[in-house]
Amino acid sequence: MARTGLMALLPASVPDSDALRQALTHRSAGQCHNERLEYLGDSVLNFIIADRLYQVRPEAPEGELSRLRAALVNKDSLAVIARDQGMGELLSLGEGERKSGGHRRDSILADALEAVIGAVYVLTDFETTRDFVLKLYASRFASLPSAESLKDPKTRLQEWLQRRNLDIPDYEILEVSGKPHDQHFKAACHIPARDLSVKGEGSSRRRAEQAAAVKAMEALQAVEKNT
């Protein structure tokens, strides 16, 4: 494998190892796949990120640290990092996953990155793994977001309503379409106290509801501004 992208960041002994090949193998490609390494890598990653946040945000309360960690290690963030490191081209996928674009799918990329972290830990030691992870996250630690901005749209909307002594919103899934591995959701956010209903769409129930919450928040703030 060419020593570019991900390969350039790996410790010298890792790129030519069976463990790395396993880490980059999706279960659709055979029995020797990456799920066990993913399990290990997930735990190691969470600890490394938690430890680093504890050091760089010495005054932050537990809730803020938890939100920061969740934002850094969730599937979306992992997929972006994996894509930035060119991991899609390195994955071993079964024929069906290949044809359906599995090398671009967030869940597969995120799981593979966790598995690679697990492989580095198995092949080296904790200190080396920590250095590898912090290299992957260098730019993200250089520009950590504020705690308030990390609250998801549903939480921000609920807190906005509660500050005004209004009931929390109701969410409704209106439609689910697409194949099981590539679904699309449409959701509604209802706020009876303001006689408001808006819709949102996304690739999961959570994302569709969050999209609806964003629109609801925008509509409520616009009304409040003009009254």
Residues marked active site are found at: 42, 114
DSSP letter, residue 3: S
CA gap 41, 11 in Å, rounded: 16
Contact 51, 127 (CB under 8 A): no
Find the Cα–Cα–Cα–Cα dihedral 208, 78, 81, 88, rounded to 10°. Answer: -90
Whether residue 64 is annotated as binding a ligand: the answer is: no
- Between helix 126-136 and helix 35-56 the angle, nearest 10°, is 80
CA gap 125, 168 in Å, rounded: 48
Largest CA distance in the chain: 65
Whether residue 224 is annotated as binding a ligand: the answer is: no
H-type helices in the chain, by residue range?
Answer: 6-9, 18-23, 35-56, 62-73, 75-84, 95-99, 106-123, 126-136, 138-142, 153-163, 205-225
Which strands sit side by side in the sheet containing 182-191, from one edge to the other?
Answer: 170-179, 182-191, 196-202
Burial (CB count <10 Å: 0-12, 13-18, 19+), residue 96: exposed
Whether residue 38 is annotated as binding a ligand: the answer is: yes
Question: What distances in angstroms separate CA 18 from CA 7, 15, 26, 88, one per listed residue?
Answer: 14, 9, 14, 18
Q: Which residues are annotated as a binding site?
A: 38, 111, 114
Q: Which residues are annotated as a binding site for Mg(2+)?
A: 38, 111, 114
